[in-house]
Structure 1
Amino acid sequence: MNDQAQNILIIGAGAIGCTLAWHLSGKKANVTLLARGRALEAIRQQGITLHKGAQNRGTRLIQTIDHLHAALHWDAIFVCVKQYDLAGVIASLQHADCRNAVIIPLVNGIPWWLLQTHERLRHEAREAWGPAYAGFPDVDATRLIGGVIHIPAQMRDACTVEQGGRDTLALGEIDGSMSERLAALVATIDQSDLQCKASHHIQHELWNKLLGNAVFNPVSALTNATMHQMLNDPGLRTLCAQLMGEVMQVGSALGLPQDISVEARLAQSESAGHARTSMLQDAWAGRRIEGDTLVGSVSRIARCLGVATPMLDGIWALLHQRFMRAS
């Protein structure tokens, strides 16, 4: 394995992008953050400050750029944007001279490459994904590494991030192999405070996270409840359990069964404490929510597979009416 520091680009200066940049900076990696607007200006002037719980972990200066430079060489590119912005970012990476870089999308929801590489869904992927699928360019799967990040985080201001709960990251080759590039990337991240593991089954890891995202995000956005409130209110916990059971059934039909019970998965989520889901944060801030990505796409995949999801379909109808109909 090459001991030379890796050149890592992080695209997106939201909570996850800033958290990742803070942890990886100076840890056997040359980290650059692609940011724009107010975030770019603030990070250039002040760096990124990270709070974990009640502790201020300090401020770190991060190298920034505001657009892709063809002259710069990247070993790995982490894409930390909303799913509805992902197609445009992937297309820009195709046009820029980033051919030698491995691309790791760290986004919520079902990645487009999962539908492209799934035997049963391959020819129905456009219908299952929805309108946004048409915007994705064809990307050689060998250029991708799947990623799942478990870090509850939110921005306090343009350059201050609050991190809570878990701080784990799973990476995996789409074909399940244990490649040299995967091992090198995991080793680099392990130099930081983050816990990173190499997964032989990254698709299963993705669906396990979706069990939480497709359930807690819409329920929180519709009720204004935090994770603690959803998991400690008997009615909401029962609703979340029913929704999670349906998402598990869809995963099983896709060949991605989860080796965990619904109740155990709910208990696992209690570590998030009083965190607000990303969808609730977006709803409060008046931003576009990832409703179609996290809920609508699962509902459509269920229809393609002939799996009944009445609770999920109902939540999707409510979410669409409340937040998305006008757009």
Structure 2
Amino acid sequence: MKVAIYGAGAIGGWMGVRLAQAGCEVGVVARGATLEALQMHGLRLEGPPAVRPELGEGLARASTSSARTELMSVPVRSSADPAQLGVQDLVLVAVKAPAMADVAKAIGPLLGPDTIVLTAMNGVPWWFFEGFGDKYAGTRLKAVDPEGAIADAIPAHHIIGCVVHASCSLNGPGFVRQHFGNKLIVGEPSGEKTARVRQLVALLEQAGFETVLSDQIQKDAWYKLWGNMTVNPVSAMTGATTDLIMGDELVRGFISKVMLEAREIGFRIGIPIEQQPQDRHQVTRKLGAFKTSMLQDVEAGKPVELDALVTVVKELGELTGVPTPFTDALLGLARLHARVHGLY
């Protein structure tokens, strides 16, 4: 199977190594230092050994509980020009949301009539209301696709959504470190259990990922957003790890207010969340002194993906008639901070 990775950062690189180990022919769209590293060393991963179905349940359990790590390197085709890689069976898009406009302009040569585009991204995707949302179905979200250029470049029939539950970082260009988590949730935007999504699940399982076929991938994306739309920007502004954020009563209370606004929006678009914010806080506390992806971006001087995590929630509030004063305050402060630092 021909697989192209568009966005060989932490998540894209991790998935690319695993897919190559499963026998896929992996190509990577990259440039600059990442392209040079891939051409010299291949795509590299430091992490636990892959847990494959053929290991059996006992060995799989032993492997996942082990603290052992391996250094893995796989050869990949790499180019700054997608046309040199050609039409693919699967394109994994694992970029941060601010990069999607540029991806849309260049992705065309990778797409054939039956190419799957698997989006492994944070926040609310541009295709969120494709085949979903009742009276809101088909709505274009201006926060993430202002002119509709992304939807035009990547027709909806290519899309399968992916929600990632794993923590990875970069040791250097093209060199990923997997910290914890190994779970992927995938699904058609329509919620259908098509033959192609079942085949994709089988491939991802063969590559060693804990893979769940979603009944409605938008719900999984929204539930993940419900936690990280607050902690990410708060960490970006303050430099605090999640343990410090959760340990501050006033900050935790403010975050809860934002989450209640988002929960009401979820009810109105067909994604009810029965939990209370404090239930989700307990999950976040278990991460310990965890550095969010947005804080990592700030420290690296990279653009922050505020629009896909927070601006879009404000837009959804306006769409559904839910007042969002706390979300607005969070967005205003985080946006100002990012602008001052040249990151938005």
Normalising to structure 2: TM-score of the pair?
0.85
In the alignment, the residues of structure 2 paired with residue 158 and residue 260 of structure 1 have an alpha-carbon distance, to the nearest angstrom, of 39
Aligned pair 1:243/2:239, yes or no? no
> Do the aligned residues in 2 keep the contact of 1:165 with 1:273 (CA within 8 Å)?
no
Query: Structure 2: where are the runs of 5+ without partners?
Result: 49-65
Q: CA RMSD in A?
A: 2.4
Q: Give the drift of 1:45.
A: 1.5
Give the structure 2 partner of residue 31 of structure 1: 26
> Does 2:46 correspond to 1:50?
yes
What amino acid sits opposite 2:271 in the alignment?
L
Describe how 1:175-214 pairs up with structure 2 within 5 A.
175-214=190-229
Distance 2:288 2:17 in 1: 23
Residue aligning to 2:338: 323
Q: Is the 8 A contact 2:297 2:303 kept in 1?
A: yes
Contact 2:134–2:269 (8 Å) recurs in 1:
no
Check the 8 A contact 2:98/2:304 in 1, yes or no. Answer: no
In the alignment, does 2:320 pair up with 1:305? yes
Shifted more, 298-307 versus 112-121: the winner is 112-121
Q: Go from structure 1 to structure 2 and tell me whether the alpha carbon gap of 1:69 and 1:131 turns closer, same or farther (over 3 Å shift).
A: closer
Partner of 1:165: 180
SS at match of 1:152: strand
Whether contact under 8 Å (2:120, 2:163) holds in the other structure is yes
Is 1:113 matched up with 2:127?
Answer: yes
Evaluate the alpha carbon distance shift between residue 70 and residue 97 of structure 1 in structure 2; reply closer, same or farther with a 3 A threshold. Answer: farther
Residue 153 (structure 1) aligns with? 168
8 Å CA contact 1:10, 1:32 repeated in 2: yes
The Cα shift of 1:255 comes to 1.3
Q: Distance in 2 between matches of 1:116 and 1:182?
A: 16
Q: 1:136 aligns with which of 117, 132, 150?
A: 150
**Partner of 1:151: helix, strand, or coil?**
strand
State the Cα distance separating 1:310 from its structure 2 match.
Answer: 1.4
Among 260, 265, 283, the alignment partner of 1:268 is 283
Question: Which residue type is aligned with residue 73 of structure 2?
Answer: R
Cα 1:30–1:238 change in 2 (3 A) is same
SS at 2:256 equivalent? helix
Mapped to 2, the partners of 1:46 and 1:123 lie a distance apart of 44
Tell whether the 8 Å contact from 1:29 to 1:188 is kept in structure 2 after alignment: no
Cα 1:233/1:194, change in 2 over 3 Å:
farther
Determine the structure 2 residue equivalent to 1:11: 6
For residue 86 of structure 1, report the CA deviation from its aligned partner: 1.4
Return the offset for 1:178: 0.9
Distance 1:29 1:124, change over 3 A: closer
Q: Any conservation in 1 of the 2:126–2:145 contact (CA below 8 Å)?
A: no
8 Å contact 1:77–1:101 — kept in the other structure?
Answer: yes
CA distance in 2: counterparts of 1:173 and 1:113, whole angstroms: 11
Identity %: 28
Distance 2:265 2:334 in 1: 20
Q: Is the 8 A contact 2:89 2:115 kept in 1?
A: yes
Q: Deviations over 1:10-39 (max 9, x none)?
A: 111111111111222221433222221101
Say which of 248, 251, 273 aligns to 1:258.
273
Match of 2:73 in 1: 60
Give unmatched runs, 5+ long, in structure 1: 1-5
Counterpart residue type for residue 65 of structure 1:
S
* Separation in structure 2 between the aligned mates of residue 100 and residue 123 of structure 1, nearest angstrom: 22
Q: Distance in 2 between matches of 1:320 and 1:154?
A: 24
Instruction: Note the C-alpha offset of 1:186.
Output: 0.7
1:221 and 1:280 in contact (8 A); partners too: yes
Q: How many residues align?
A: 321
CA–CA separation in structure 2 for the residues paired with 1:124 and 1:216: 27
TM-score normalized by the length of structure 1: 0.89
Once the two structures are TM-superposed, the CA of residue 271 in structure 1 deviates from its matched residue by 4.2
Deviation at residue 171 of structure 1 after TM alignment: 0.5
C-alpha distance in 2, partners of 1:71/1:287?
27
